[in-house]
A = this chain, B = another copy of it.
Amino acid sequence: MQVSLKRAIYEENDRLAAAINAGLRRRGIYTVNILGSPGAGKTSLVSRLAERLSRPLSVIEGDVASDIDTRTLRALGVDAWQIETGGDCHLNAPMIEAMLGKMKVEDAAWLFIENIGNLICPAEFVIGEDLKIVVSSAAEGHDKPWKYPIIFARSAACILTKLDIAEAIGFDEAAFRKGLETVAPGLPVFPLNGKTGEGADHIASWLIAARKAAAGT
């Protein structure tokens, strides 16, 4: 009973997510679902990319509570919109559909969706994105790929943040990358210093290339 209901919820979500993605693609919008733990640096990544990407850019911020990140991004001049789930541990396709009805994403824009801070549930749901990227902070420790393999396996890139405190925290980057190679072979890893923006140029270039590749198919 529980299992078949769960499957029905997934199937309904996936159908709606495919429809959302098709609608966004028709308008030339490229959509990125940003995943990661609480405090991994998802909002910093978005703000660093907003500085570097030349097309119009809109952001949907997902949080269990508060609109802190939306206010942060708006203060930087970013077109950001808040979904407050009130308790739900991940965004789903119906939430995105409802939000897209309220906000105005420009044609040919970037749409970044910052998911709830959680390494588990958000990995299970497609929400209309072209690709997922996962943000992982050195402060979380190098064992995270082994402990949360699904989120890394389903992401198209891993952004590795807070490496400036790696030594203080005892983070072993080689061990992290070894774990990644096991659970998500070939996954590109981009270091990012969220405070200085160092590393964000490479991520922006990679995203632009991914977008071009998708448009070519």
Binding site for B on A (CB under 8 A): 1-2, 5, 9, 37-39, 63-66, 68, 87, 89, 116-121, 124, 137, 139-141, 143-144, 146-150, 162, 164-165, 168-170, 195
Task: Determine the distance from Cα of A37 to Cα of B147 in the docked complex, in whole angstroms.
Answer: 12
- Whether the Cβ atoms of B165 and A120 lie closer than 8 Å is no
- Whether the Cβ atoms of B65 and A143 lie closer than 8 Å is no
- Whether the Cβ atoms of A38 and B144 lie closer than 8 Å is yes
- Whether the Cβ atoms of B164 and A38 lie closer than 8 Å is no
Question: Which of B64, B66, B140, B150 meets A64, CB within 8 Å?
Answer: B150
Q: What residues of chain B lie closer than 8 Å to A124, measured between beta carbons?
A: 87
- Whether the Cβ atoms of B195 and A148 lie closer than 8 Å is no
- How many identical subunits does the complex contain? 2
How far does the Cβ of A140 sit from chain B's closest Cβ, in whole Å?
Answer: 3
- Whether the Cβ atoms of A39 and B140 lie closer than 8 Å is yes
Task: Determine the distance from Cα of A143 to Cα of B39 in the docked complex, in whole angstroms.
Answer: 9
- Whether the Cβ atoms of A144 and B39 lie closer than 8 Å is yes
Q: What residues of chain B lie closer than 8 Å to A147, measured between beta carbons?
A: 38, 63-66, 68, 117
Q: Given that A146-B68, A147-B65, A147-B66 are known contacts, is A139 also in contact with B169, CB under 8 Å in the complex?
A: yes
Q: What residues of chain B lie closer than 8 Å to A146, measured between beta carbons?
A: 65-66, 68
Closest to A179 in B: B66
- Whether the Cβ atoms of B118 and A119 lie closer than 8 Å is yes
Identify 6 residue pairs between A and B in the complex whose beta-carbon atoms are under 8 Å apart, listed by A's number.
A37-B117, A117-B147, A118-B118, A118-B121, A139-B140, A165-B169
Task: Determine the distance from Cα of A169 to Cα of B148 in the docked complex, in whole angstroms.
Answer: 24
